Amino acid sequence: MPRTLRIRVKPGSRRGPLVETGDDGLLVVVVRERAVDGAANSAVERVLAEHLGLAPSRVTITRGQGSRIKTVVVDD
């Protein structure tokens, strides 16, 4: 059954890729890729899927493609 997560993204970071919990309770996904031509979004899906132990095709960004706060659907 799919579940929806709200996440915060930090693109273009030297310390990524990693997933951590922010002070506000949102998952923070840190990736090295910059927010150019969807590279950061693809990396976010891949890194979050790896963190959750899922295939990358099971994680999809549904809202916030151009924003740092995103809504992601995870199909367990």
Delimit the domains of the chain by residue range: 2-75
The dotted CATH code for 2-75 is 3.30.1200.10
Phi/psi class of residue 37: alpha, beta or left (left: φ > 0; alpha: ψ in -120 to 50)?
Answer: left
Question: 75, 74, 61: which is closest to 8 by C-alpha?
Answer: 61
This model's pTM is above 0.85 = yes
Q: What is the structure's pLDDT at 76?
A: 84
Please, which contacts does 17-21 make with residues 24 or more away whose CB atoms are closer than 8 Å?
17/43, 17/47, 18/47, 19/47, 19/48, 19/51
72 pLDDT more than 90: yes
14-71 per-position pLDDT tens digit: 998 999 999 999 999 999 999 999 999 999 999 999 999 999 999 999 999 999 999 9
Collapsed DSSP state (helix, strand, coil) of residue 19: strand
